[in-house]
Amino acid sequence: MNMNLEPYEAHIKVLQEEIAALQSQKEKNEREITMHLGGSMKNALLTMAGIETGAETRKSLMEIKAQLMTEIEELEEDLVRQTKMNGIALISCSVKTLEKSSSKLVQQYRLAGHCSSLNYQVEFVLSDVQVDAMSERMITDLNIIMEATEFKDFSTFVSRVEDNGDLLLFFRTIRRFSDMCEDRRRTFQHFQEKYPDVISLPGGCRSEVMLIQVPKLPGCSLTISWALEVTDVGEVIPKIDLVTKMPEKALQMDTRKVMDNAPESFQSLLKILGVEASIEALVQSVLLNM
């Protein structure tokens, strides 16, 4: 009597090959989605897998759901607090693992969000390398897309940040820039609401320009131009100027050159009084002359 064991051996070989393929598929999946396999997540994953294969599970489904729910609530609170404190909102974040070993982890991040009304998209590679029990984290391949037109002029700053991989500087700068944009908007709106007859915002409240016009004096206007400049090293500098416009005839009558000297006087005023008080003084003087 001689039994043939070959079919068994063949079956085993096929299964082993199939398992190897599945194993690499599973690893690939886990790379696509970063699993923070903490307690409750691991339980949930095991339960899911257990349910699928019909095996016994240690914890009941309800229990695991409740635990996940509690954790999610806590994480959501954290996120709200973080967003409020940072002044930067993150809407989406996708992470893909490019390389993983015991001493090295390389991941690609894609972030999108906004800082008040400025939308951004950022993409970068984060490498975490263990050197002598110390972890060294580094950013490479930084790519930034700013949708906001307000930020379009600062391509030199953005490309410098991209070259240096200076992610933190970029976010510090857009936060300060956006804060200053908000200041400007608040100030412009405040004056327009206070003096609707003389003040208009031709480019909307978010623009750089505020116009002071007196209906009785057609052709005369004072323009406040409030630009925000971003230097190459990420400093945000406000530039506030007064531009005057007057018909030729009226200018000839202005013997004391008040209009000519106005921009310079306005600069001195800014230094002494600050922005709001200077604009207030300017508007008051216009109203007084009516």
Q: Is 111 in the site for other proteins (CB under 8 A)?
A: yes
> In this chain, which stretch among 18-26, 147-155, 201-209, 275-283 interacts with other proteins, using CB under 8 A?
18-26
Report 199-258 residues binding other proteins (CB under 8 A). 233
Asked if residue 49 binds other proteins (CB under 8 A), the reply is yes
User: Quick one: which of 57, 90, 183, 214 contacts other proteins (CB under 8 A)?
Assistant: 90
Determine if 26 is a binding residue for other proteins (CB under 8 A): yes
Site for other proteins contains 53 (CB under 8 A): yes
The beta-carbon contacts of 102-108 under 8 Å, at least 24 apart in sequence, are: 102/130, 103/129, 103/130, 104/128, 104/129, 104/130, 107/34, 108/141
- Is residue 63 a contact residue for other proteins (CB under 8 A)? no
Residue from the set 15, 98, 237, 258 that interacts with other proteins by CB under 8 A? 15
CB-wise, 136 or 276, nearer to other proteins? 136
Stretch that binds other proteins, among 165-173, 212-220, 271-279, 281-289 (CB under 8 A): 165-173
Closest separation between CB of residue 289 and other proteins, Å? 38
How many residues bind to other proteins according to rule CB under 8 A?
78
What would you report as the CA-atom Rg of the chain, rounded to the nearest whole angstrom?
32
* CB environment 197-228: b (16+ within 10 A), e (fewer): ebbebeeeebbbbbbbbeeeeeebbbbbebeb
Please tell me whether residue 271 binds other proteins under the rule CB under 8 A.
Answer: no
Q: Is 181 in the site for other proteins (CB under 8 A)?
A: no
Element (H, E) at 228: strand 221-230
Cβ-based nearer residue to other proteins, 47 or 244: 47
Report residue 149 as tokens: 């037109």
Q: Is 268 in the site for other proteins (CB under 8 A)?
A: no
CA atoms of 286 and 290, how far apart (whole Å): 7
Tell me if 171 contacts other proteins by CB under 8 A: yes
Q: Which residues contact 34 (CB under 8 A, 6 or more apart)?
A: 95, 97, 107
The reply on whether position 167 binds other proteins by CB under 8 A is yes
Tokens representing 123 are: 């993409």
Q: Is the separation of the CB atoms in 105 and 99 below 8 Å?
A: yes
The least CB distance from residue 202 to other proteins, in Å, is: 32
CB of 255 to other proteins, least distance (A): 45
Binding to other proteins (CB under 8 A) within 142-161 occurs at 142
- For other proteins, which residue of 57, 97, 106, 109 counts as binding (CB under 8 A)? 109
Nearby residues of 234 by Cβ (< 8 Å), 6 or more positions away = 157, 161, 169, 170, 172, 173
CB of residue 77 to other proteins, shortest distance in Å: 9
Q: Is the separation of the CB atoms in 40 and 67 below 8 Å?
A: yes
Report, in Å, the least distance between residue 87 CB and other proteins.
6
Spatial CA neighbour of 127 closest among 163, 90, 101, 146: 101
Token pair listed for 225: 């131009």
